[in-house]
Structure 1
Amino acid sequence: MSTAKLAGTGQEYRIGKILCIGRNYAEHIKELGNETPAAPVIFTKPATAVIGDGQEIVIPPYSHDCHHEAELALLIGRQGKDIPREEAASYIAGYGVAIDLTLRDVQGELKKKGLPWDIAKGFDTACPLSDFVPAEQVADPQRLQIRLSVNGELRQDGSTALMIHQVADIISYMSGIFTLEPGDIILTGTPAGVGPLVSGDIVSTEIPGVVALRVSVK
């Protein structure tokens, strides 16, 4: 069973839905050659995709191009449906950092055929996830830096200020589609700088002064 820990509180949440937003930073859209969507692009990952600090990413044998995507993660603390934007913050129990692993080759082939790309996003170990800090310890989620390094080389370094859809808008929008429940995780998109991972890599990602996560690639 995958759980999300709220640091310093002894509280744990059983992870439910992992709801992800794609194409939420303009520079990332540009680097992949995608179009800017009119509405948020939503996909999901199963709770079985989660691994924690110090654990190993296992790239499936059906892919040869696994990419890292560092993201601000939100932990939902109470149930909500059709949440108004101005009330969204009250549903957040904590903030963390995650890596949305993407099998870029598999995703590309499936998209060409107009097929779902769940197997490119939801495989086992596809969601390295840190512990969460209580929401009250983060004054403004739109003023956070997200950084990711591979083997000590900085690859991603972007601000949540650059999000197209901000945290409150994401929660409000998603809650109009899915009832949000305690233990649900929302991944808010990745800044530019995504790139490949290979066996033996050490991947470190952080929101400086808030949370950090370090995993390896088997």
Structure 2
Amino acid sequence: MVDFRDVKNIYCVGRNYAKHARELGNEVPSSPVIFSKPTHSLHSAEGELELPFQLGEIHYELELVIKMASAFNPNQSLDKVIDSIALGIDWTARDLQTTLKAKGQPWLLAKGFKGSAVLTEFLPVPNESDIPHLSYSLVKNGDVVQEGKPEQMIFSIRELLEYIDTHLGLNEGDIIFTGTPEGVGPIQSGDVMELKLYHPHTDSSYTFGPLKITSMKNT
């Protein structure tokens, strides 16, 4: 199981892949869209996870996650300020989010429920030049439903760190969900998810899971 005890703040980035922004009918942003999740939303990417389907349709969103080694220093390479990387799923109560957006209200209720931030184990951070070439995918019931690479991001990881540090601050133990590629979609009780990460320069691949989705007992 993943140890979350040293995680401090959880920052998340919305609409950081152009095709994903468009698939939900959103404009491509001119600056990063930042929101947060509470630490009790964290859940390991294995075993079983109960989700609150009483909130309406819940969507999966695969993301590359980075963990800070220290306060951000723009003069240092990313492999010095980033401690490690992981994959995550940003579960989103899509019906509720749509309602909140229409009212001009924050997304927290749709993004911050218990178990809404799935994380794999953390892996050593690659060299900065290798980071854009990582690839990752989400497998649902044996079928690949999402694929992405950092080089497809609207705002690079360095740009995200600079923006978040300027407006909110970054320090050791903070983690950042860096946005989801296209292909998000709904899940239901009984679905099984796996997360896959590939490092092309070392020809290393990692598979995390399986994670079985169930419904909360009071639904």
Same fold (TM over 0.5): yes
One-letter amino acid of the structure 1 residue matched with residue 166 of structure 2: G
CA displacement at 1:175 relative to structure 2: 0.6
User: What residue is the counterpart of 1:3 in the other structure?
Assistant: 3
User: What residue is the counterpart of 2:109 in the other structure?
Assistant: 119
Distance 1:66 1:56 in 2: 16
**Residue segments in structure 1 that go unaligned for 5+ positions in a row:** 5-12
SS in 2 for 1:14: coil
Decide whether the 8 Å contact of 1:97 with 1:211 is kept in 2: no
CA displacement at 1:56 relative to structure 2: 2.5
User: What residue is the counterpart of 1:58 in the other structure?
Assistant: 50
User: What residue is the counterpart of 1:212 in the other structure?
Assistant: 207
Distance 1:187 1:57 in 2: 19
User: What residue is the counterpart of 1:7 in the other structure?
Assistant: none
The CA RMSD over aligned residues, in Å, is 1.8
Q: How is 1:148-163 mapped onto 2 (pairs within 5 angstroms)?
A: 148-163=138-153
Distance 1:212 1:124 in 2: 24
User: What residue is the counterpart of 2:201 in the other structure?
Assistant: none
- Give the counterpart of 2:165 among 171, 175, 178: 175
Structure 2 length-normalised TM: 0.88
**Residue segments in structure 2 that go unaligned for 5+ positions in a row:** 199-203, 215-219
User: What residue is the counterpart of 2:118 in the other structure?
Assistant: 128
CA displacement at 1:159 relative to structure 2: 2.0
Distance 2:122 2:59 in 1: 23
Q: 1:113 to 1:213 in 2, by over 3 A?
A: same
Decide whether the 8 Å contact of 1:56 with 1:125 is kept in 2: no
CA displacement at 1:138 relative to structure 2: 7.3
Decide whether the 8 Å contact of 1:107 with 1:117 is kept in 2: yes
Q: How is 1:128-147 mapped onto 2 (pairs within 5 angstroms)?
A: 128-136=118-126, 140-147=130-137
Moved more, 160-169 or 128-137: 128-137
CA displacement at 1:197 relative to structure 2: 0.6
Structure 1 length-normalised TM: 0.88
SS in 2 for 1:111: helix
Distance 1:131 1:138 in 2: 20
CA displacement at 1:134 relative to structure 2: 1.4
What does the per-residue CA deviation read over 1:107-150, in whole Å, with 9 as the maximum and x for residues that have no partner? 00011011111011110000110111111467521111120011
Distance 2:68 2:206 in 1: 17
CA displacement at 1:84 relative to structure 2: 2.1
Identity value in percent = 35
One-letter amino acid of the structure 1 residue matched with residue 46 of structure 2: G
